Amino acid sequence: MTAQIINGRAVRDEILAGLQQDIETLKQQGVQPGLAVVLVGDDPASKQYVGMKAKKSKEIGMYSEVHALPSTTSQEELLTLIGQLNESDKIHGILVQLPLPPHIDEKAVIDAIRVEKDVDGFHPVSVGNMVIGDDCLLPCTPAGIIELIKRTGTAIAGKHAVVVGRSNIVGKPVALLLLRENATVSICHSKTADMKEMTRQADILVVAAGRPGLIPGDYIKPGAIVIDVGTPVGDVQFEDASQTASAITPVPGGVGPMTIAMLMSNTVKAAKQIAAQAQAK
Ligand SMILES: Nc1nc(=O)c2c([nH]1)NC[C@@H]1CN(c3ccc(C(=O)N[C@@H](CCC(=O)O)C(=O)O)cc3)C=[N+]21
């Protein structure tokens, strides 16, 4: 079998086209969704991501602010900026690019973001709402993964989904979202006794380990859907895995573009909700 290659860029473009129309409608109602991206330090990869986010948001008619701060920025200064963005009527989504420099407490910064503007879905209240299954802004990469799986046309309910990786930003939340979709979910990690034994049971395999090439083709169940979250290099051995899977995401061009699409989608959702709240007052 040669797997269908899941085209994340094409799906992203479809989603962005829909959002562009939503934004046009919102603008006619006097609301322009606004996204603030905050970057501390000058890591070249981070700069590139932030640039992509700003570019896409402008392309679809959003208001966008990039706050690029020096690596010497104090935690207090960063918290002051977050406070201003929380209050700003122009801003509906706040994203603080992670990781932050070691002298800044990431948790303190994430906790300071107003939940209604938490378009990353990293705030503990957002996470709690996601776990319960309440309406909330979902973390972008996990939400994008669910969208990609759904668009392969395969039902998630009843399937065995195996997630490799347990980070707070991908592994844990994607496992919960798969559970919400009624998959039977297993979570594997570096201490899993027999990784191959686990992954070979996966009808849906999501790999978010941050370990380039970790998963070879013989770890994959014939006909599985394989989602590779590795960036900038995949965690799955793509050529090898394509011979066994029924569908697979490439890197680049798979999950990455969906992360951006979901960020835009969350910002539009946040703008709608904040506007509705303001009207109700
Ligand atoms: N608060 C926060 N939220 C994030 O969502 C966040 C973050 N911090 N820190 C860094 C990671 C990384 N990340 C990516 C987003 C898009 C691509 C992406 O679109 N990649 C393209 C390739 C881009 C290229 O190199 O041309 C692709 O996979 O096709 C990759 C990585 C978001 N992150």
Q: Mapping DSSP to helix (H, G, I), strand (E, B) and coil, where does residue 247 land?
A: strand
Active-site residue flag, 120 = yes
In a shared domain, residues 57 and 145: no
In a shared domain, residues 198 and 233: yes
CA–CA distance, 252 with 250 (Å, rounded to integer): 6
In a shared domain, residues 86 and 163: no
- Over residues 58-95, the pLDDT tens digits come to 999 999 999 999 999 999 999 999 999 999 999 999 99
CA–CA distance, 175 with 182 (Å, rounded to integer): 11
Q: What is the ipTM of this complex?
A: 0.97
Among the listed residues 22, 118, 120, 235, the single catalytic one is 120
CA–CA distance, 152 with 255 (Å, rounded to integer): 13
DSSP state at residue 230: -
154 marked among binding-site residues? no
Out of 49, 53, 66, give the residue to mutate to test ligand 1, the one with the largest number of ligand atoms within 8 Å of its CB: 49
In a shared domain, residues 85 and 171: no
* Number of folded domains that form the chain: 2
Q: Please report which confidence band the pLDDT of residue 281 belongs to, taking 50, 70 and 90 as the band edges.
A: confident
In a shared domain, residues 247 and 153: yes
| Angstrom distances, CA of residue 167 to CA of 141, 175, 218, 254 | 12, 10, 25, 19
pTM of the model: 0.97
In a shared domain, residues 164 and 80: no
Nearest CA to ligand 1 atom 23: 252
159 dihedral zone (left: phi>0; alpha: psi -120 to 50; beta): beta
Active-site residue flag, 228 = no
pLDDT of residue 211: 98
Q: In CATH, what number is assigned to the domain containing residue 203? A: 3.40.50.720
Question: Are 144 and 169 within 8 A, CB to CB?
Answer: no
In a shared domain, residues 238 and 179: yes
In a shared domain, residues 107 and 147: no
Determine whether 66 is exposed, middle or buried from the number of CB atoms within 10 Å of its CB (0-12, 13-18, 19+).
middle
In a domain? residue 274: no
3-state secondary structure 114-177: CHHHCCCCCCHHHHHHHHHCCCCCCCHHHHHHHHHHHHCCCCCCCCEEEEECCCCCCHHHHHHH
Q: In CATH, what number is assigned to the domain containing residue 44? A: 3.40.50.10860
Across all residues in the chain, what is the average pLDDT? 97
Is residue 95 lining ligand 1, measured as CB closer than 6 Å?
yes
Over 90: is that where the pLDDT of 45 sits?
no
CA–CA distance, 169 with 78 (Å, rounded to integer): 21
Place of tokens 């009624």: 182
Is residue 120 lining ligand 1, measured as CB closer than 6 Å?
yes
CA of 278 to the centre of ligand 1 (A): 32
In a shared domain, residues 39 and 101: yes
Residue 99's domain comprises: 30-114
Active-site residue flag, 159 = no
In a domain? residue 25: no
Q: Please report which confidence band the pLDDT of residue 150 belongs to, taking 50, 70 and 90 as the band edges.
A: very high
